[in-house]
Structures are given as structure tokens and as C-alpha cells.
Amino acid sequence: MKPIVIIGAGIAGLQAATQLHRKNVPFVLLEKSDRAGGRIQSDLVEGFILDRGFQVLQTNYSGVQQSFDLTALQLQAFDSGARLWIRAQWTSFLNPLRSGLKLLDLIPHVISFNDIFLLGRLWFNLQWSADELVQSNESTSDMLNRWGFSEAFQTKFIRPFFRGIYLDEHLQQPASLFFFYMRQFLEGQAALPAKGMGALADQLLDSLPSESIRFGAEVIQLSSNKLELKGGELLEFDRVIIALDPHAAAKLMHVALPESVHLGSKTFYFSSPFREVQDTLLHLIPGGSKLLHYCFLSHVAADYAPKGKDLIQATSLDLGLEPEEALRLLAEYEDVQGLKFLKAYAIPRSLAKVGAFDALKQTAASKGFILAGDYCEMPSLQGALVSGEKAAIQSLL
Ligand SMILES: Cc1cc2nc3c(=O)[nH]c(=O)nc-3n(C[C@H](O)[C@H](O)[C@H](O)COP(=O)(O)OP(=O)(O)OC[C@H]3O[C@@H](n4cnc5c(N)ncnc54)[C@H](O)[C@@H]3O)c2cc1C
């Protein structure tokens, strides 16, 4: 039997390789760049750990719990909740399941009694199944209005919070995604590995035999039993797992995919003088600004900044936003004295829209290719992990 070929060493490809390796099934993992991790990587810049685009790990993801040694990652958790900009100052909104009576202080400026009742109902329903809550083809935005969450709660918390998760200004992703994330946030924690999100890929990679992994191996042509690498090398296989982002998968399979299925984002990193008062909540910037949110990453995970400094990230959906403008916008909400721009990551295809990949899936099925990648499940680390595991199982059938 020829080794199973896996194309792409993002989290989905690494997960597929891990599953095969555990079963002693030979594989070869082909990655076009010189590093594993795909969209989850970290860089070291002037002593700061910069994740390639601000992202967090949800401790409640089943895939995360099953796939990683969480102790070795030394997870550092955000406080559960967010800071909201209310009457020209930052106010804490903490996870309703953990804040108890403190929530009442936020009535009526942020939340109403009816919102609290609706959240309770939502959480109760999520204990059984989100299926009953979902109406087919309903967007998150429509669902929020149908449920009747108050205008204040929607504009001050839900919409800014979910804009940052979806990277979608208008919350057009399906309501099912909202229910999934709400459960993760209510019951789990958002966290960072002490050494950066890239540690996730490193941990998966470390458990794989290095002779089965090839970096700088870009697949440029693919047929049902053969592929060509950039440079002309040909490789034959019986089974292939295409663990690519949807754009690259579509290109390789000659499927037309409109650019509009992708959601882009830009993350700015600033170094700041060290602040004694630690703040581990995400600051949600009200709608209308080109910035979505910002936070002090080094207050959550101290190693993200060298001693005596702090690291601030700010995220925007505007890929053309310049650092000076981002800093000016940040100054409307934060003391920016002493802040120094470090680096920005503009990522045009950060996430994909749910449900836009039927043509890709049909083409793959007709050619006998197995697909993996977050977009096969849901646009997240959890989706990538689950898709990789399913693809490995399918490749053995
Ligand atoms: C800014 C940003 C914020 C995010 N926030 C979160 C978050 O908070 N929580 C969360 O759970 N998820 C988040 N995500 C999503 C998460 O990062 C992705 O779901 C996950 O990393 C996708 O993994 P993947 O393996 O499916 O794809 P990718 O990571 O895209 O991996 C594909 C791999 O294929 C390689 N490749 C491409 N073409 C070829 C070729 N022709 N030949 C060989 N190799 C090739 C690429 O180099 C890459 O390594 C975020 C993503 C971004 C970018």
C-alpha cells in the first residue's frame, strides 16, 4: 500500500496525520510553506509573540480537549466576558453564568430583565440540543431579532462580540454557529497557550515522524492517482486527503469559488509601556468604528511581551486600514501614550462563510478525493480538528 498523501499542514492536515500515525498507517504530509500551522502560527518580533491574526482557543472545544496536551500548553485564560463602552467609559460585562447579581448593575443600560430571561432560556435549551433552536437558513442577525433581545444588549454586547468572532460586519453566518459559540463561551474559557497560538501546531507536529513531512512542497496539479509538485516532481498515491483552505482546494480542483465566500481581517500589534493594572477582558468597540476590538494580550499571557512592556492587539475588518489610522481610532478609547506600532497582519481569507462549498465537496467526491479543512465543518480550530479526524477515518475505508 502506498502512503496516504495529505496536502496541507494546517491544523486539519496535522490532525489527519496524527490520526493515521496513531494507527501506524504510513503517510506523507506535503506543505507548501516552510512551517506547519497554516492560519495558526506565531512570530517572535522584538521579543513579542505575535499570532498571525488575533485568535483564541476555546477550552470547551471537544477537539481541543482530545487533541492537545493542555497542561503542556500552559493555557492562560481571558476573563470570561468583555468590556463595553457605556457612556464614554469602559464597563465590565461578565459571563452571566459566573457574575451572579453583578449583572443587575447593568440594567437597563446594557441588559434588560427580558434579556436575562432569554439568556437563561437559551442556556437551558443548549443543555439538550441546539437543533430545536435552529430555523433553516436563518442568519444570526435575523435570529437575534426573532428572539427579541433588546436593542441595547444587541448593540452593546452581542453584535460587537460576534462581529469579532465571525469577522462578519452584518452577522450573516447561520444562527446555528451563534448557538455553538454561545455554549462555548458560557461554559468554557477563551485562552492562549503561554508561548502563542503557534504552539498548537508545534505540539501536533512534534508527535509526527519528521521523515513523513515535506516542507516547501507545493502541489500544483492533481489527478485521481497522481500529483505534481512545484519543480516537476511527480508522486503517485492510492488515497489523498486535501487539507487546504477553501481557496487553495478550489484552485487545485479547478472549481470556481467566488472571493465573497471569504471573510478577511487585519490585526495590529502595538508595544506599550508596562501597566500595573492588569486587564484580561476583550474591549468591544461600538459599531461604526473601523476597529472591532482590542485587548492587552500580555495581561492574559505574560510571555507575549518582554519584561517591562505590554502587547496590545487591535483588530479591524478593513484590510486597507493603516497603522497610524488604527492608532488614532484606538486613542478614542485608550491612553495611547508610548504605544509603538510593531506589525500588522492583513489576512484576506481568515475565515470562510458557512454553507458555500457544495460544488467543492461534489467535485472532490466525484474524483475520489477526501477533503479536510475547517470549512468542511465550521470556520474554527474545532472545525479543522474534527475535519482532519474524519478525513483520516475515511481514508482507511
Ligand atoms: C485572523 C484569524 C482569526 C481566527 N480566530 C479564530 C478563533 O478565535 N478561534 C478559532 O477556533 N479559530 C479561529 N480562526 C480560524 C482557525 O485559525 C482556522 O479554522 C484553522 O487554522 C484552519 O485550519 P485548516 O487546517 O483548515 O486550514 P489552513 O490553516 O488554512 O491550512 C492549510 C495549509 O495548506 C497549505 N497549502 C495551501 N496550498 C497548498 C498547496 N498547493 N500545496 C501544499 N500545501 C498547501 C497552507 O500553506 C496551509 O499550511 C481564525 C483564523 C484567522 C486567520
Question: Has residue 143 got a pLDDT over 80?
Answer: yes
- Residue 185: the pLDDT is 87
Does 119 score more than 70 pLDDT? yes
36 belongs to a structural domain: yes
Total residues belonging to the chain: 397
CATH number at residue 71: 3.90.660.20
More confident residue, 120 or 384: 384
Q: Which of 350, 355, 347, 348 is nearest to 378 (CA)?
A: 355
Residue 132 pLDDT exceeds 80: no
Domain extent at residue 235: 4-40+197-257+357-395
DSSP helix/strand/coil, 373: coil
**Whether residue 209 is found in the same domain as residue 250:** yes
* 369 within 8 A of 227, measured Cβ to Cβ: no
Same domain, 253 and 367: yes
Position in ligand 1 atom list of the atom nearest CA 12: 25
Enter the DSSP assignment of 306.
-
Query: Do 215 and 158 fall into the same domain?
Result: no
Do the domain assignments include residue 14? Answer: yes
Residue 85 lies in a domain: no
Quote the percentage of the chain above a pLDDT of 70.
99
Please check the confidence at residue 287 and state whether its pLDDT lies above 90. no
Give the pLDDT mean for 8-29.
98
pLDDT at 125 over 90: no
pLDDT at position 136 is: 73
**Residues 224 and 301 grouped into a single domain:** no
Residue 186: what pLDDT? 86
Percent of the chain at pLDDT exceeding 90: 86
Q: In this structure, is residue 88 part of a structural domain?
A: no
Going by C-beta distance under 8 Å and a sequence separation of 6 or more, which residues neighbour residue 210?
none
Q: What is the whole-number distance in angstroms between the Cα of residue 11 and the centre of ligand 1?
A: 7
CATH of the domain at 25: 3.50.50.60
Secondary-structure percent of the chain, ordered helix, strand, coil, rounded to 5: 40, 25, 35
pLDDT of residue 137: 82
Which residue CA neighbors atom 6 of ligand 1 most closely? 55
Same domain membership, residue 138 and residue 22: no
- Give the least confident one: 2-6, 128-132, 214-218, 351-355: 128-132
In this structure, which amino acid lies at residue 57? L
Q: Is the pLDDT score of 102 beyond 80?
A: no
Of the residues 65, 167, 381, 387, which should be mutated to test ligand 1's pocket, given the most ligand atoms within 8 Å of the CB? 381
CA of 204 to the centre of ligand 1 (A): 14
- Whether residue 73 is predicted with pLDDT greater than 90 in this model: the reply is yes
Q: What is the per-residue pLDDT for 353?
A: 94
Residues 266 and 345 in one domain: yes
Give the domain-ending residue among 142, 165, 185: 185
Residue nearest to atom 52 of ligand 1 (CA): 350
Residue 23 Cα to ligand 1 middle (Å): 25
Number of domains in the chain: 3
The tens digit of pLDDT for each residue in 242-264 reads 999 999 999 999 999 999 999 99
Taking residues 319-332, report their average pLDDT.
98
> Are 55 and 105 members of one domain?
no
DSSP 8-state code for residue 210: G
**pLDDT per residue over 166-190, tens digit each?**
999 999 999 999 999 988 888 899 9
Please, which pLDDT band fits residue 130 given cuts at 50, 70 and 90? low
Mean pLDDT of 219-238: 97
pLDDT number for residue 112: 93
59/132 same-domain check:
no
How buried is 325 (Cβ within 10 angstroms: 0-12 exposed, 13-18 middle, 19+ buried)? middle
> Does residue 154 belong to any structural domain of this protein?
yes
Where is average pLDDT lowest: 62-66, 233-237, 383-387?
62-66
Predicted confidence at residue 281, as pLDDT, reads 96
Closest by alpha carbon to 295, among 190, 397, 365, 391? Answer: 190
pLDDT bin (cut points 50, 70, 90) of residue 30 is: very high
The reply to whether 47 falls in a domain is: yes
How far is ligand 1, taken at its centre, from the CA of residue 84, in Å? 30
CB-defined site of ligand 1, < 6 Å: 7-13, 30-33, 38-40, 53, 55-56, 218-219, 243-245, 248, 252, 265, 347, 350-351, 373-374, 379-384
For residue 269, how far is its CA from the centre of ligand 1 (angstroms)? 20
- Rounded to the nearest angstrom, the distance between the alpha carbon of 184 and the centre of ligand 1 is 20
Is residue 72 in some structural domain? Answer: yes
Strand partners, 307: none
Whole-prediction pTM: 0.96
Kindly report whether the peptide bond that precedes residue 108 is cis, defined as omega within 30 degrees of 0.
yes
Residue 272 inside a domain? The answer is: yes
Q: Helix 159-166 vs helix 140-147: angle between axes, to the nearest 10 degrees? A: 160
**Which of the four pLDDT bands, split at 50, 70 and 90, describes residue 302?**
very high
Residues 6+ positions from 205 with CB-CB distance below 8 Å: 9, 14, 36, 213
Rounded (5°) CA angle 233-206-306:
115
Are 238 and 361 in the same domain?
Answer: yes
Residue 328 shares a structural domain with residue 385: no
Pocket test for ligand 1, best of 19, 29, 32, 39 (most atoms within 8 A of CB): 39
Is residue 361 domain-shared with residue 333, that is, in the same domain? no
Residue nearest to atom 4 of ligand 1 (CA): 55
32 with 50, same domain: the answer is no
